[in-house]
Structure 1
Amino acid sequence: MTNDPIKASVGPANRWADLGPRFITAVGMVVVSFAAVWFGNTTFLLFVVLCVTALVWELSRMCQVARPLLIALLSGAALLLMALLPSGYGLPFMMLPVVASVGRIGRERMAFAMFAVMILLSGFGLIQLRVEFQALWLVWLVLVVVMTDVAGYFAGRMLGGPKFWPKVSPKKTWSGTVAGWFGAAAVGLAYVLWAGAPLQVIPVSIALSMAAQMGDIAESALKRRVGVKDSSALLPGHGGFFDRLDGILGASIFLLMVEQFIAFPPVPV
Structure 2
Amino acid sequence: MNRLSNLQARIATAFVIGPLAIAAAWLHHGTWVALIAVAVVAGGREWARMMVPHAALPLTLRLGAGLAATAVVASLFGVPWGLGVLVAAVALAWLPWPVAGEAALVGPLAWGLLYLGPSAVALVWLHAQPGIGLTLVIWVLVVVWTTDIGAYASGRSIGGPRLWPAVSPRKTWAGFVGGLVLGSLGGLAVRRLAVGDLSPSVVAVAVAVSLASQAGDLLESGIKRRHGVKDTGGLLPGHGGVLDRLDGLFVAAPVFAMIHAMAGDDLRWQ
Cα deviation, residue 112, structure 1: 5.2
Question: Which contiguous aligned blocks of 4+ residues in structure 1 show a shift greater than 6 angstroms?
Answer: none
Residue in structure 2 matching 1:82, options 74, 81, 93: 74
1:160-219 superposed Cα distances (whole Å, 9 cap, x missing partner): 101111121112110010011111221243245432252211111011000010011111
Residue in structure 2 matching 1:95, options 79, 83, 87: 87
More displaced stretch, 243-252 vs 14-23: 14-23
CA distance in 1, matches of 2:258, 2:229: 31
More displaced stretch, 181-190 vs 91-100: 91-100
Residue in structure 2 matching 1:60, options 44, 48, 73: 48
CA distance in 2, matches of 1:108, 1:160: 40
1:4 corresponds in structure 2 to none
CA distance in 2, matches of 1:231, 1:105: 23
CA distance in 2, matches of 1:163, 1:63: 27
In structure 2, give the amino acid aligned to 1:256: A
CA distance in 2, matches of 1:18, 1:106: 37
**Contact 2:11 2:149 (C-alpha < 8 Å) held by counterparts:** no
In structure 2, give the amino acid aligned to 1:198: S
Mark the CA change 1:40 to 1:176 in structure 2 (over 3 Å): closer, same or farther: same
Residue in structure 1 matching 2:61, options 48, 65, 70: 70
RMSD: 2.4
Cα deviation, residue 108, structure 1: 9.2
In structure 2, give the amino acid aligned to 1:78: T
Mark the CA change 1:82 to 1:152 in structure 2 (over 3 Å): closer, same or farther: same
> Which one has a larger percent helix, Structure 1 or Structure 2?
2
Task: Indicate the SS of the match to 1:57.
Answer: helix
In structure 2, give the amino acid aligned to 1:263: G
CA distance in 1, matches of 2:191, 2:71: 33
1:245-268 superposed Cα distances (whole Å, 9 cap, x missing partner): 010111111123323442357124
Q: TM-score normalized by structure 1?
A: 0.85
CA distance in 2, matches of 1:193, 1:16: 31
Percent of residue pairs identical:
32
2:27 corresponds in structure 1 to 39
**Contact 1:189 1:199 (C-alpha < 8 Å) held by counterparts:** no
Mark the CA change 1:105 to 1:138 in structure 2 (over 3 Å): closer, same or farther: farther
Task: Indicate the SS of the match to 1:164.
Answer: strand
Q: TM-score normalized by structure 2?
A: 0.85
CA distance in 2, matches of 1:234, 1:193: 33
Mark the CA change 1:268 to 1:143 in structure 2 (over 3 Å): closer, same or farther: closer
CA distance in 1, matches of 2:258, 2:76: 22
In structure 1, give the amino acid aligned to 2:70: A
Unaligned runs of at least 5 residues, structure 1: 1-8
Mark the CA change 1:256 to 1:115 in structure 2 (over 3 Å): closer, same or farther: farther
2:174 corresponds in structure 1 to 175
1:145 corresponds in structure 2 to 144
Task: Indicate the SS of the match to 2:230.
Answer: coil
1:38-94 superposed Cα distances (whole Å, 9 cap, x missing partner): 212111111111101111111122111551331243021332123212444443311
Equivalent residue pairs, number: 256
Cα deviation, residue 29, structure 1: 1.0
CA distance in 2, matches of 1:266, 1:106: 45
1:19 counterpart = 2:21: no
Cα deviation, residue 232, structure 1: 1.5
1:118 corresponds in structure 2 to 115
**Contact 1:137 1:265 (C-alpha < 8 Å) held by counterparts:** no
Task: Indicate the SS of the match to 2:170.
Answer: strand
Cα deviation, residue 138, structure 1: 1.2
